[in-house]
Amino acid sequence: MNSFSKRMLVALAVPSLAMAQGAPKNVLGYKDFSQQAKWDAAFMSVPDAKLAGEHLKILTAEPHWASSPEDYKTALYVADKFKAAGLKTEIVPYKVWLNKPLKIEISAKDASGKTLMHGPNAEHVGPADGGDPFQDDKRILPAFNGSSGSGDVTAQVVYANHGTLQDFDELAKMGIDVKGKIVLVRYGANFRGVKVYIAQQRGALGVLIYSDPADDGYVRGDMYPKGAYRPATGVQRGSVQFLPIYPGDPTTPGVASTVDLPDSQRIMDPKKMNQPMIPANPLSYMDASPILEHMDGAVVPKGWQGGLPFTYHLGGGGAVTVHMNVQQDYKLRTIWDVIGTIDGDDPNAWVVAGNHRDAWVFGAVDPNSGTAAMLETVHGMGELLKQGWKPKRTIKFASWDAEEEGLMGSTEWVEQHAEELHHAVAYFNTDVAVSGPDFGAEAVPSLKQFLREVTEAVPSPKGGTVYDEWLRAQQADDRVGDQQLFAGVKRERATQEVRIGTLGSGSDYTPFIQHLGVPSTDIGSDGPYGVYHSAFDNYNWFIKNADPTFVYEQEMARVFGVEVLHMADAEVLPYDYAAYGKAVAGYVKAAEKDAAEEKLAVNFAALDAAAARFAAAGQATSKIVQGGTAPAGFDAAEREAETALLGPGLPRRTWYKHVIYAPGEYTGYAAVVIPGVNEGITADDAARTQGQVDELVTALNKSAAILEAAAK
């Protein structure tokens, strides 16, 4: 159906469910969509905005840091809802290496010994604009970084902007050595663990990471409680794990950290774990400001100035001395995943859908907006079960624990079930499901068309479908981009279909796609959100700023559910390898251009041929999927084609097996595509790049051969 007739239908429809009933058409993987359209409609009538709001209120009533008694209470709540819907439910414990702050003391003095700040100060907003009803809860832990080292250090302070590799290099070029110093960096631009990774490599004694008001504070809009942005005392907690090396429990890379796993089978030496030895701690801008304001040294380069009302300096002289005393209590602590299963006709083909449950504090947006939505998805599945529905494929819903510390609950479960997951047909993630009204998604290329079709089946609270609103927002963005002439950045335009992002890292899809090659998606609905990982990400903030009537919760419950339904019931697995082939060909072309610019002597001939072969094979199988009928064994082959894209692991970080997607070693959140090759080029290392090109050629040829055989 074209977009004109779709809009007509919307205009005529009574809100909500008419789309699903009126719109069946060509859906990838179905020859005849009519029965599925009925199940879709039956499902979509169930997820309830009010109930989602109730789940959210209950789940976020107390701080529920992973491994705490309050966290266990939320596991019981989720397990009860899974059981009530008829899912076979289990609570799965793991023992993982977690730090809890014993003592956090940070102070700064000027050259004369006068105290400039002594903190950190507690997160607090005054009674103006309504105050905050949650901030005084005694169970709120002092703001800290997961995976931080312990230490008592005193040193001069240096400002390193966002703490990217380029920032540290620029600092060195300006003659400033961070060795023996405490580095002050602002949030943004990369994953916080990467900031500490580089600072430690260069000999820093400690790292302070603060939230600049230019990033998510008053420069962006009104501060909470008046608006949605970060107040002066608001702190962004978060893990400084070396996520790009490996995620999950630090003591058990590649192995499940089950409760009975003895210490003798764990890495118990902190120096060998995926985390820093030096102390790191987050700060509010209220606490960082007196440090920054009094620093000496040169004025910062262009682009390093943040939003505070004075000129920033690089430091490194004697004007400000900082004292950090950070003591962490590390031990193996128990965490709890909740897994709920709906048996399908095929017990081996799993559709896994998950969201994490643990929060730094109350976690209204991150992550329990996702948990509330998922519980309403499960509610809908329960109603279908009562009506006699049985999916073709087996469905598993997962409520992960300790995601915030480094994707621990998901990684350990994935490592435990690696064998079975080789047949899992998809993993669907949602983390920050709702912080506002703007839908967005990331996916492997083979699932992008699938995801577009899912969002075409779900109504948007704004009218029309989720897909219509998503496309309209992207087109409006593009127009703004045209007017502002973004520094020569050319972008793919959303004129006909929505752009879907590339999976990087920072949430629970990472072990599925990047370690095991399970095709994955990640969805969320965004808006102005300045209280990330602070005590102010709570129910009060949520109902004032994100979704007062929970209609976006309902929307996300439906999108999440329709993803699961279509993947579980499709006649042919709805993978689009034609899109995959096109994407990979684009990545290869871009890498070749970069290598040429760097004048690296690398031979790309075999890679060109392999990419072309993979693209052609993808075209052939996509035609079969579009027809909605396929010979026996076709689905298994299509799934195997993704597993074939796993290699022996990336240099220096072999846990990451996927040859097309990984988080960047020096970005963390952002994906690096064909990572082995591109990181070889960035490192200016021709031999390493050639080796990685050869790995990629092997994987693409293997995957192409599987697709070619399937298309015969």
CA distance 409 to 336: 7
Query: Per-residue x/- marks for Zn ion, 177-216, CB under 5 A?
Result: ----------------------------------------
Q: Answer yes or no whether residue 555 interacts with Zn ion by CB under 5 A.
A: no
Least separation, in Å, of the C-beta of 155 and Zn ion? 33
Least separation, in Å, of the C-beta of 430 and Zn ion? 10
Q: What residues act catalytically?
A: 403
Considering the complex, state which of residue 359 and residue 645 has its C-beta at the smaller distance from Zn ion: 359
Stretch that binds Zn ion, among 231-239, 283-291, 292-300, 360-368 (CB under 5 A): 360-368
Considering the complex, state which of residue 43 and residue 191 has its C-beta at the smaller distance from Zn ion: 191
CA distance 136 to 79: 29
Considering the complex, state which of residue 67 and residue 449 has its C-beta at the smaller distance from Zn ion: 67
Q: Answer yes or no whether residue 569 interacts with Zn ion by CB under 5 A.
A: no
CA distance 60 to 225: 18
CA distance 544 to 599: 54
Helices and strands (H and E) in the chain: how many:
23, 16
* C-alpha angle 248-58-354 in degrees, rounded to nearest 5: 35
CA-based end-to-end distance of the chain:
30
Least separation, in Å, of the C-beta of 498 and Zn ion? 23
Contact pick of 212, 287, 337, 366 for Zn ion (by CB under 5 A): 366
Helix (H, G, I), strand (E, B) or coil at 148: coil
Least separation, in Å, of the C-beta of 273 and Zn ion? 22
Those residues whose C-beta lies under 8 Å from the C-beta of residue 289, and which sit 6 or more positions away, are 308
Considering the complex, state which of residue 367 and residue 574 has its C-beta at the smaller distance from Zn ion: 367
CA distance 603 to 608: 10
Contacts with Zn ion in 423-452 (CB under 5 A)? 431
Radius of gyration of the chain (CA): 25
Considering the complex, state which of residue 460 and residue 521 has its C-beta at the smaller distance from Zn ion: 521
* C-alpha angle 559-560-563 in degrees, rounded to nearest 5: 85
Q: Which two tokens stand for residue 118?
A: 């002594």
CB atoms within 10 A of CB 500: 23
CA distance 282 to 553: 30
CA distance 143 to 121: 9
Considering the complex, state which of residue 430 and residue 449 has its C-beta at the smaller distance from Zn ion: 430
Least separation, in Å, of the C-beta of 524 and Zn ion? 10
Query: Per-residue x/- marks for Zn ion, 367-396, CB under 5 A?
Result: x-----------------------------
Smallest CA-to-CA distance from 64 within 279, 266, 359, 345 is with 359
CA distance 182 to 168: 13
Considering the complex, state which of residue 366 and residue 576 has its C-beta at the smaller distance from Zn ion: 366
Q: Which two tokens stand for residue 259?
A: 């409760």
Least separation, in Å, of the C-beta of 604 and Zn ion? 39
Least separation, in Å, of the C-beta of 507 and Zn ion? 6
Contacts with Zn ion in 640-659 (CB under 5 A)? none
Considering the complex, state which of residue 216 and residue 366 has its C-beta at the smaller distance from Zn ion: 366
Contacts with Zn ion in 8-67 (CB under 5 A)? none
CA distance 332 to 100: 11
How many residues belong to the chain?
712
Considering the complex, state which of residue 140 and residue 471 has its C-beta at the smaller distance from Zn ion: 140
CA distance 657 to 680: 16
Stretch that binds Zn ion, among 96-104, 332-340, 362-370, 648-656 (CB under 5 A): 362-370
CA distance 261 to 445: 37
Least separation, in Å, of the C-beta of 306 and Zn ion? 25
SS (H, E, C) 506-535: CCCHHHHHHHHCCCEEEEEEECCCCCCCCC
Q: Nearest 5°: phi and psi at 342? A: -115, 115
Q: Which two tokens stand for residue 631?
A: 């010979």
Least separation, in Å, of the C-beta of 429 and Zn ion? 10
List residues near Zn ion by CB under 5 A. Answer: 366-367, 431
